[in-house]
Structures are given as structure tokens and as C-alpha cells.
Structure 1
Amino acid sequence: MSIRSVKLICAPFILLFVLISSLILHHSTNIFFLIITAILLYTAIVYDHKFPWLKGIQFIFLGAFHLASELNWCVLLYYILIVNLIENKKRYQETIPIALLLIMEYSAIRLSYMETLTTYTLLATVFDLMTSLLLVLLFHIFINIETERKELTKQNDYLSNHDALTGLYNYFGYMNKVQQTIQTNKEFLFVLFDINNFKSHNAKDIATANEILVKLSQSLIARFPNHLGASRYAGDRFSILLRPSEQIDKLLNFEELGIQITYSTTRYPQDAITFQHLIHIGEDRIFQMRREFWLKQQEEQSRSDKMKLVGELAASMAHEIRNPLTSIQGFIQLSKNSGYNILPWYDVIMSEITRVGELTAEFLQFSKPHVGNMKNELIASCMARVYSLCEPEATSRGHTIELIILDHAAQVRMDRDKITQVLINLIRNSFQAMEQPGHVQFTLHQEDNQAVIQVRDNGKGIANDEIDKIFDPFYTTKEDGTGLGLSLCQKIIEDHNGEITVSSEVGLDTVFTVKLPIALHNKSGRRSKVNQP
């Protein structure tokens, strides 16, 4: 209850009580004057909030009423008047003089209608002065407590509804503000903002990320000074409520902050008429725009990666071709001094020309699409064909090759010639890796609806620092290799939605594993060991 409410309720009852008591006790000699002063005092109290100057003359009406009533009970009215006059004053230097003057007025009038001046009367006057001082002290204590309570409430409300970092509304404050704005039934724009790739900023430096959030919030307020409400309601997400006349397109470039913004705009009530619908549409639009931005970014990244790969391949190809061409050029220059007789260098020149041709052919295979004649084929039949093609070469090199098929019915959707090319390449690599007569195991089994083909040899193995590079274009450990064989194999397998991996232990064995998705499978598979097709 406010001080004004207390005085408006208590003052009339006290005035009426004193007036009636004075009449009953026959203290008043002028009833008309008593009533007039009571009315004037109450009127001044009622209207002093509209006419502040009335506070300056209330003590005159109170003194006249006190003098006319000749009752000490008017002291309660003096206390009310003291509180009324010091209500908005904060310092003791302002409040104590007012209290003392009013109590002195009360004491002077009280002594004027008393017949004799006694010790009790003097002590009572001192007591009244002490009471007025205590009243002022209690008033200040009450005011301080109330002020602290209001300040704490204000701070709590602020912290509950505002973001500590930016000072804008937080999620709860933002929700309340949107609801309050909708209740006004006026048109407005509901704009959501999202910082693109903010997580990358946050991962690098939290302080930098926070600085971006603060600068963005300040920039929004500066660009839209007449906004209806602004908030940071979810990490890097901001929203702002604007009047429908605001032109926002030209004000949403934040390049000076080093960031890109995705934003969505929803109009109330054209796009939505309820709070929930408005939020849903705004969030859905910002999601769609973020998705489009992400897809565009992925497309650009993919294009960049492809261009980078093309550049690397072109550079490597130029380097690989330049070496044999340099050799050929050197031999032609030597032949000039020998009457253009190239016979001593003929074999070397032809081998270099053959190398250039092989490089060009494999590069063309690597660069063009590999998926051609795709159809369901028995992978076991394809492996048997590969075995028959590679078995004579194994014999000529002094090696043995073993074909083990654990699933004859497994079918794979594939280009048969391309898969045959991959498997022959892997087996020949195994032959070349075994410096002494060795053994190659060529197996097929099923694993999780995939046909798993393995080529295992007991050659010298591959070192750890080389095994991660063997699928890189133009990387080779062979003196006469092009470095495109395994890269081409990997590309073909990937075009078949499969994968190729390698594991090796130096001095023990090397295993290449090819996994291809099974198109059709008959569970009546069985194990067989084939030494020839």
C-alpha cells in the first residue's frame, strides 16, 4: 500500500473522530470554523498530487483545525502530514527540519489552549519531538528497504529477461515481447538473424566469438533505433521486431564485422495471426535459408576440391610426361652428332615413348566415367575369369595362386570388364611385390550383405609411411610404374558404391580388400577350392 493510499484512508477518519470528539467534549467554541478547516485540510490532502503547491499550505489548515478542536489527538494528523511532505526526500537534512517544525507547531498550539504549564506538559513536548525524530528515522529505514527491494526486483527481472552478454532480451524476454506486441493488434515485422559458420569462430577463440555477438547486437540497435524489441535468444541467433514501414534489405550487410548473416522476415498478421504460428513460420524460414546456404557452400567446396584435384593431376601428369620427353630430346640431340643415327638409343627412345603412351592412356581412364555396362553378375564367375588370366603369369614368375570362393551365388551390380581390370591389377601388384617365389590367395566371402574380395600375398609388405599414399595419383614405388594403377582401381570401386582398403605388415604379407554391395544372393553358398578355372 502506498503512502498516498494510507493518508487518503486514514486522514478522513481521524478528522471526523477529532471533530466529533471536540463537539462532545465541548472544546470547540466555533463549530463552523472547525468544520471549514477540516474540509480545507482534507481537500488539500486529496488534491496535492495534482496541485503540488497545496502541500506548502497544508500545515496552515492543520494548525487552524488543531486550534479550533483543542484536542491533542491531532498529533496523528501531524504525523501523516510529516510523512506526506518528506515522501520524495532522501536525505536527513531535508526531512528532520520539516518534522521538527511541524511538531513545534503542534506543541505551540497545544500549549496555547492548556490552562497551566506544568513539568508534564514540557516533558510531553520533548517526547513529541523525540517521536517525530523516530518517525523520520523509521520512514528512512522503510524507504531504504523498499528501494532495495524494488532494485533487486528490477535487477532480477532484467536478468531473467535479458542476455548478460549483449544486454538484449533473452529467450524468455523475447517470447514475452512478441506476445505483448501481438496483443496490441498492430502490424509488425518479425525478423530472425543467424550468423553463418559461427561455430568456426567459436572454435577458434571464445573471446573473439563473444566480441562478434556484442558488435552484432550493437549494430542491430544502431541500424534500427526505432525497433519494438530486439533479442539474442539462442547462441548466435538474434531477432528483432520492427514497424512494417522499416526498409531492411539495405541494412543487413555486416561485412564490416567480418560475418555473413542469414535472415528471415515474417509479417504479422499477413503471414500469421497467432504467436505460435508466427514463431513456427519464422523458424522454418530461417532453417530453409540456412539449409540453402549450407548446400551452396558445400557445392562451392566440392567445386573447389575438384579444381584443386584437377590442378594437382595436371601438374603431376606434366611432370611425369616431361621426364621421358626430356630423355627423348637428349637422345635426338646426341644422334645429331652421329649423323642422325638413333640406332644406339632406339630401344631406350621407344621405351620412353611407350611410357608416355601408357601414362596418357591411364590418365584418360582415370578422368573419364567408369560406370558403363552395369548389370547383375556372379562375382564368382568374374573371379574365376581373372584367375584363368593371371594363373599363367604366376607360373612364369614362379609364384602360386589359390582361388577360394565361399559364396558362389553372390551377385553384384557391376561393369564386368572394369571389375576384372581392378582384380587383375591387384593380383599383378602382388606378383611384383614378391621378389622370391611366393603365394597369392584370391578369396571371396560374404559380410553384412557385401561381397568381400581379398588378394593376399606373402611379399615384402608395405611400410607404414607409404601405405597411406598408395592410392594417391602418380605415387609409386616401382621404377617403371605410372602411379595411376591403384588410383584407377579406387575410382572404379567407388563408382560401384564399394570400397577398397589395404593392410600390410613389413616382411609378412599384404592384403587388399574390395567390398561391393550384393544385388542378389542365394543363401545356399558353399566353400570350394579351385586351382584352375
Structure 2
Amino acid sequence: MNSKWICIVYSFLVLSSSLYFGTSASPLWLVAATAGYVLAQTFEKHIPARLPLQLILLIAMHSLSGTLWCLPLYLLHMCNLFYNIPSFRTALWINTLLMLTGVIVALVRQPAMTETTLTTAYSIISCFIFACLYRKIYYDIEHQKQQLTNEKKHLSTHDALTGLYNFQEFHKQLEKLGGSGEPVILVLMDCKDLKSLNTTNGFQGVNKILKQVAQLLRIIFPEAELICRYGGDEFAIVLKTEDVDQSIHSVTQQMAVEFPKLTGIEINFGIASYPSDGMAKDDLILVAEHNLYMMKRESWLKREEHMLRSEKLRVVGELASGMAHEIRNPLTTVKGFLQLSKAGNYNIEPWYDLIMDEINRMSMLTVEFLQFSRPHVTQFKIQSIQNCVFRVLSLLDSETTRLGHHVQFDHDEEPVLMLMDHDKMLQLLLNLIKNAFEAMPEEGRVHIHLYTLEKQAVIEISDNGKGIPESDLEKVFIPFYTTKDSGTGLGLSICHKIVQDHEGTIEVESFVNKGTKFTIMLPTVGMQQPEAAATSGGTKVSV
């Protein structure tokens, strides 16, 4: 029930009580005033000056009724005045006049007694005070409601962490700016490596950095129409401009130089301009995201190039260190023998063989190192891998017999053809089988198994030797790493390079005191006629 119907109900109560107790001197006029007041309340929307008319009729009802039953009506009207009139001063003056009028009417109609006068004045003044209190409470509630509404709107349109526009609101505002027809520049920026800082600084540290980035963007671009947190560590800026080219140059300078200098954070960014890069909002964002992606890609390629260069320098350093170490040992030996020969009147005959052995060792080391490190020309031809294995077995036949080992070769009858360098393949197989011989005790067994698997030739070379410890298994292909008392440590590294040159893979599996198995997978070329095989050979430079 609203205030209008409450006023109508109370007006009938005033009329009924006055007629029942006989307090009205003019009942007919009271009925007329009450009827007019009810009509003014009922059809208030159709009456131009409804407020003055209602107040006049209320005062008339009060005067004609001769009772204080009109007090609730005074209170309701005072509250409505405070509610409907925005100006507090205006509503206060009207309510004060209404209060004084009500007091005067009550005093005129009531007997001139002190108690009655005070009671009447106290009642009407209390209604005025309650109305003022109602206004304060009402406006406090409205103020809180407005604050909550503004806060809700802010939370729905702004990012809670940085205080910038969020993704959804940014799209709405950008669409409005695009509709204005004025040239604008859209900048999408992405902070590099910010996610990786979560592991070192924690999410609170990263959140602090994001807040600083948002604050700095406000400082660098005070004239920006929009600044938003586009998502995660991405931000977007929209600038109005008259000279698009000049503005793009200025923004590029600020993003590429000033921002990293102030924050210490490298960024990627993409720029698009309206209307040259697109008339619609989505087209503009697409161009900016594409430019951002291209800058990210270029940055990633530079980083990969730097990492590759660093890795190459590291490998070169390790090779140089290993080479220096391997050469220093025989040089120290030769130096010691020469010093001894000087003391013995330069007679080197007792140490001649040892000196020559050390010199031969350095020569072999140098040859293997050059073979491993420098580019070399390889002659690739389509040949049968079975023939290579048979060739290796014939070369090792005398050594196999001398050492008392047994070699078993299992293969399919159908030849397995590969595009390969015959000499390099022989070197690969010889190194692996000789390593197996050296790892086995007397009368060891070497098993060579050749088969095809999904257009790949698989060569398994296994032995029953002493095996390789698990801790050393991952290091066997590292240059200069060896577990032998003698050797350069380059044999398996050379094998690995030969397999790589043939676009294949090599794996090792070993169990201590049980044996080791090397598995080589190389691409095949299928069956071809000898004439075709002869014409398809070529030369390939491998680095």
C-alpha cells in the first residue's frame, strides 16, 4: 500500500471520528473537504497544482474536524515533501509553514488551556521532527544504494587488480569510439616473461608488477581515451590522433625504449590505426593482434638464435677444454722424457718407443677431432645395408677369431636399401662392434639384428659384456667422455654425428654385467632397380 491510499484511509478515519464524537461545527463542510481531499489524492496525476490543493484541503479538514486525528496526515505529507522535492531547503520551508499552520489551526479550534496548547504544539512539531528524520534516513539509504550501484558498475567494467577497464568494457568503449569516425590508434602490448616470475616472485610479486605497469601506462599516456587490462599480462591502449604516422612513431618510441627503461620489463606490442587498418572494431583488433604476434615471433626467433649461439659457444668451450686436456697429457710425457734425455747427454733411445707412442696418440686424437668437428663432404648413394654389415664382418674376421668372440647376424633375405655414405656407414658399424669387443670378456657374443619397421631400417647391435652404469649412460655420446683406460672419447660422438647426417636416431640400453644394446634407426628408400639406384646418387655437405 502506497502513501496515497494511506492518506485516503486516514481521511475517512478523521471524518468518521469527527462525526461520531460530534467535534465538527460544520459536518457538511467537513464532508465536502474530505471528499475534495480524497479526489485530489485519487486523481493527483491529472491535477496541475495538486500539492498546494492537497495541503489546503488537509488544513480545511483539520480546521473543520476539530480533532488531532489529522496528525498522521501531516506526517505523511511532510515525508512526501522531503521525498519529492530535491531541494532540502525548499522542502524544509514548506514543511515549516505547514507545521505552523497546523499549530495555529489546532490552537484556534482547541480551548485556550495551557495543557491542550502544549499537547497540540508538541504533536505537530514532533511530526515535523519525524519527517526531518525520515528525510535523513531516506537519503542515507539512497546514498548507500547509489554507492553500491556505482561499485557494482565499476566492478563489472573494471579490472579488480589494476583498476583499468576490463576486456568486455574495452570492447564496448572501442566500438563507441569507432562509431565517432575520428582517427584512433590501438596498441596491444604483452609483457615478456612475466608468467615465469611467478616461480621466483610469487603471484603477489607479479600482481604488484601488474599494478605498477597499469600506473605507468596512465602516466605515459595521460591523453589516452582507453587503457585496459586486455587479459593476463596483456594491456590495450586507445589514443585519438590527428597525425596517425607521427603518433605511431611516438608510441613505438615510448613502448620500445621508455617503458622498458622505467620498468625493466621487455614488452612486445602491436599497433593498428582506424580507419586505415580497419573500419570495424574486430578488424582493428585483428590487425593489432597480428602485429603483436609477428613481434612475439621475431622476439622468440632472436631468443632462440641467442640460445643456439650460447649453446654452440658452450659446446666449443667443452670441446676445446677436452682437447686441451687430452693433448696436455702426452705432451707432459714427451716433455718429461726429453728432460731425462738431456740429463743423460741427449740419449733418447731408452724412451724412444714411449715418445713415439705419445706422438702417435696426439696425431690420432687430432685426426678424430677434425673428423668430428669440421664440415665434410659425404657421398650418398642408394645401397644395401646388408652389404655394409657383411663388409664389416669380413674386416673384423681375423680380430674376431683372435679374441675368441662369436658374431651372429640376423637379417631378412630381401635387401634393405638406404640413401647412405658407404664409408661412413662402415665406420659407424666398425666403431660399435669394436666397442662391443672391448666391453666383453673372452669368448663373448655379439648379436646384430637388421629388420625394417615403418619405412625405417633398424640395426640392433648387442653384446654380453660388462655393461655401462646408469649414471654414465647419458654421457656416452658427449665428446671426450670415456670409461676406457685408453682412447680419445670421440668414437661414440662420431657415431652419433654419422647417424644424424643420415637423418636417423641412435639409442643405447645397458645393464651392468649383462650387456649393452645400441639401436640405430635409419630411413629406407624402398626397392629400386640397379640402374635407377646408380643415377640417383649425389653429394651432400653435412655440418
TM-score by structure 1 length? 0.78
Alignment of 1:209-248 (within 5 A): 209-244=206-241, 246=247, 247-248=250-251
Q: For residues 77 and 439 of structure 1, do their structure 2 counterparts lie closer, same or farther at Cα, with a shift above 3 Å needed?
A: closer
Measured in 2, the distance between the counterparts of 1:369 and 1:496 equals: 14
For residues 119-173 of structure 1, give each alpha carbon's deviation from its aligned partner in whole angstroms, at most 9, with x where no partner exists.
Answer: 9998776554444444444434433333333222222222222111111112112
Structure 2 equivalent of residue 355 of structure 1: 361
Question: How has the CA–CA distance of structure 1 residues 205 and 414 changed in structure 2, closer, same or farther, with 3 Å as cutoff?
Answer: farther
Deviation of 1:371 (Å): 6.1
- Quote the Cα distance in structure 2 between the aligned partners of 1:186 and 1:121: 73
Worse overlay, 221-230 or 443-452: 443-452
Aligned residue for 1:190?
186
Q: Verify: 1:104 aligned to 2:91, yes or no.
A: no
Among candidates 139, 143, 146, match of residue 147 of structure 1: 143
Would the alpha carbon gap of residues 429 and 420 (structure 1) be closer, same or farther in structure 2, given more than 3 Å must change? same
Q: Distance in 2 between matches of 1:306 and 1:481?
A: 25
Aligned mates of 1:361, 1:180 — CA distance in 2? 73
Residue from 241, 249, 274 that aligns with 2:252: 249
Deviations 1:156-194 (A, max 9, x none): 222222111111112112212211221222211100101
Q: Tell me if structure 2 keeps the 8 A contact 1:99–1:136.
A: no
In the other structure, the counterpart of 1:479 is 485
* Contact 2:103–2:124 (CA under 8 A) maintained in structure 1: no
Contact 1:166-1:214 at 8 Å conserved across structures: yes
- Aligned counterpart for 1:320 among listed residues 308, 321, 326: 326
CA separation in 2, counterparts of 1:370 and 1:451? 24
Q: Counterpart in 2 of 1:441?
A: 447
What is residue 23 of structure 2 aligned with on the other side?
none
Q: Name whichever of 404-413 and 509-518 sits farther off.
A: 404-413
- Residue 336 of structure 2 corresponds to residue 330 of structure 1: yes
Secondary structure at 2:396 match in 1? helix
Cα offset for 1:222? 1.0
Unpaired runs of at least 5, structure 2: 5-28, 34-47, 63-69, 529-543
> 1:383 and 1:452 mapped to 2: Cα distance?
13
Counterpart code for 2:268 = T
1:284 aligns with 2:290: yes
Moved more, 313-322 or 125-134: 125-134
C-alpha change, 1:308 and 1:122, in structure 2 (3 Å) is same
Structure 1, unpaired ranges of 5+? 1-5, 7-21, 27-40, 46-61, 523-533
Query: What is residue 162 of structure 1 aligned with on the other side?
Result: 158
Structure 2 residue aligned with 1:499, among 485, 490, 505? 505
Alignment CA distance shift 1:412-1:136 (3 Å): farther
Match of residue 176, structure 1, among 163, 169, 172: 172
Which residue of structure 1 aligns with residue 436 of structure 2? Answer: 430
What is the CA distance between 1:417 and its match in structure 2? 1.5
Q: CA RMSD in A?
A: 3.5
> Which residue matches 2:383?
377
Q: Give CA deviations for 1:416-440 in whole Å, capped at 9, x if unaligned.
A: 2112211110000000111322111
**Conservation of the 8 A alpha-carbon contact between 2:185 and 2:272:** yes
Q: Which amino acid aligns with 2:251?
A: I
Q: Out of 165-174 and 137-146, give the one that drifted further.
A: 137-146
Native 8 Å contact 1:78 1:106 kept in 2: no
SS in 1 for 2:415: coil
Residue 103 of structure 1 contacts residue 128 of structure 1 at CA under 8 Å; is this kept in 2?
A: no
Q: Aligned partners of 2:88 and 2:523: how far apart in 1?
A: 85
Cα 1:383–1:334 change in 2 (3 A) is: same
> After the TM superposition, which of the residue ranges 266-275 and 386-395 deviates more from structure 2?
386-395
Aligned equivalent of 1:343:
349
SS of equivalent residue, structure 1 residue 285: helix
Structure 1: how far apart are the matches of 2:148 and 2:416? 76
Q: Using the alignment, how far apart are the partners of 1:365 and 1:109 within structure 2? A: 121
- The answer on whether the counterparts of 1:401 and 1:440 sit within 8 Å (CA) in structure 2 is yes
Compute the displacement of 1:460 (Å). 1.0
Q: Distance in 2 between matches of 1:184 and 1:250?
A: 28
In structure 2, distance between residues paired with 1:134 and 1:521: 106
Instruction: State the 1:506 CA deviation.
Output: 1.0
Q: Following the alignment from structure 1 to structure 2, what is the Cα–Cα distance between the partners of residues 255 and 317?
A: 43
The residue aligned with 1:403 is: 409
How far the C-alpha of 1:87 sits from its partner, in A, is 4.9
Tell me, what secondary structure is at the counterpart of 1:520?
coil
Return the alpha-carbon distance in structure 2 between the equivalents of residues 502 and 79 of structure 1.
93
- Deviation of the 1:106 alpha carbon: 2.7
Q: Summarize the Cα distance change of 1:106–1:401 in structure 2 as closer, same or farther, 3 Å threshold.
A: same
The corresponding residue for 2:269 is: 263
Secondary structure of 2:378's match? coil
> How far apart are residue 292 of structure 1 and its match?
1.0
Counterpart contact for 1:111–1:117, Cα < 8 Å? no
The aligned residue for residue 32 of structure 1 is: none
1:306 partnered with 2:301 = no
Q: How many residue pairs are counted as aligned between the two chains?
A: 465
Q: Is the Cα–Cα contact under 8 Å of residues 412 and 518 in structure 1 kept in the other structure?
A: yes
Task: Say which is worse superposed, 395-404 or 369-378, in terms of deviation.
Answer: 369-378
Q: CA deviation at 1:202?
A: 2.3
Contact 1:194 1:236 (C-alpha < 8 Å) held by counterparts: yes
Does structure 1 retain, via aligned residues, the 8 Å contact 2:103–2:121?
Answer: no
